[in-house]
Chains A and B, each alone.
Chain A
Amino acid sequence: MSENELIALLKQGDRSAFDYLVTNHQVRIYNACLGVLRSQEDAEDVTQEVFVEIYRSINSFKEEAKLSTWMYRIAMTKSLDFLRGKKRKKRFAFMKPLFGEDNAPRYDPPDFVHPGVQLENKETAAQLFKAIAELPENQKVAFTLNKIEGLSYQEISEIMETTVPSVESLLFRARQNLKNLLSEYYNSNF
């Protein structure tokens, strides 16, 4: 099935076309979300949201970009929205003990270890993921799409709706920031 045929069927609301889309893209979308969210559970929830959003807005897809590019764009937007929502909740949870509503200790998730990382790199990768979480949003997205999804600068520029030199610059700054964060971590832990 060509991409144009698939899009036409999706726009008609064809169930088997959506089945095909989910079967062929769920792993990619899930992994893109996982790179940003650092939680398998959250990544699965957001992946579901991504496909629901695709279903709702497929008729407004203008086909100026590839379907996969558009899907990645939705995945990154949804993931960042989810993270923002989580941060808001965390801020609110911090306020609660001040008002004496909840004295339970705050729960911080353990270090995230990506299941696809090679065994010998698991420890260092956990530190890297912690540092990635501290990056500004656009650097985080560019780094995740490049290093985890293995996308080219051209593909990332299309997803982020920017130019290739901008992506290069984002990745350069992301690497510099990661170096600084890891350096701080090394100084206080080794």
Chain B
Amino acid sequence: MEGEKDKWIERTLNSLEGIQPAVPSTDMHGRIMQRLQAERFRIVPDKVKPATIYRAAAAILLIMALNIFTCTMFSKNVTEKKGLQSFAKEYSISGGSESLLNI
């Protein structure tokens, strides 16, 4: 049993002996030459310099930071105003929050 198995493995390992080169399809040469011809007229886009990428990234970050800062300030302002208005309403103080701020 083991002897047969070893024989089969050996035969399989040697099955590439005498292998002949495979022949590609007849039109492969033409297709390669066509690709090379197309390559000749290929327009290669200019490479973007890393410095340009860094500048663009910095600009995006700056815009984002400004947006976050503005949003935070705006929401803080609104909360403060709302707090003062509800306080004034609860204690029936007239003149609104603006007058309270001047106390």
Contacts and interface: CB of A to CB of B under 8 A. Distances in A.
B32 A115 contact: no
Contacts of A40: 22, 24
A56 interface: yes
Interface in B15-69: 15-25, 28-29, 31-33, 35-36, 39-40
A103 interface: no
Where chain B touches its partner, the secondary structure class is helix
Give the interface size bracket for A toward B: 35 or more
A26 B22 contact: no
B54 to A, nearest CB: 27
B13 A178 contact: yes
A171 to B, nearest CB: 12
A67 B24 CA distance: 21
B15 A124 contact: yes
Contacts, number: 98
A125 B16 contact: yes
A135 interface: no
A22 B23 contact: no
Interface stretch (A46-54, A69-77, A78-86, A94-102): A46-54
A22 B32 CA distance: 8
B6 to A, nearest CB: 9
A102 B32 CA distance: 35
A44 B36 contact: no
Interface string A90-119: 000000000000000000000000111110
Nearest to B27: A44
B31 A179 contact: no
B3 to A, nearest CB: 12
Contacts of B33: 18-19, 22
B44 to A, nearest CB: 10
Interface stretch (A1-9, A28-36, A151-159, A160-168): A28-36
13 contacts: A22-B32, A40-B24, A48-B28, A52-B35, A56-B39, A116-B21, A121-B15, A124-B8, A183-B9, A186-B5, A186-B8, A190-B5, A190-B8
| 6 tightest Cβ-Cβ pairs between the two chains A and B | A116-B20, A121-B15, A125-B15, A124-B15, A124-B12, A30-B24
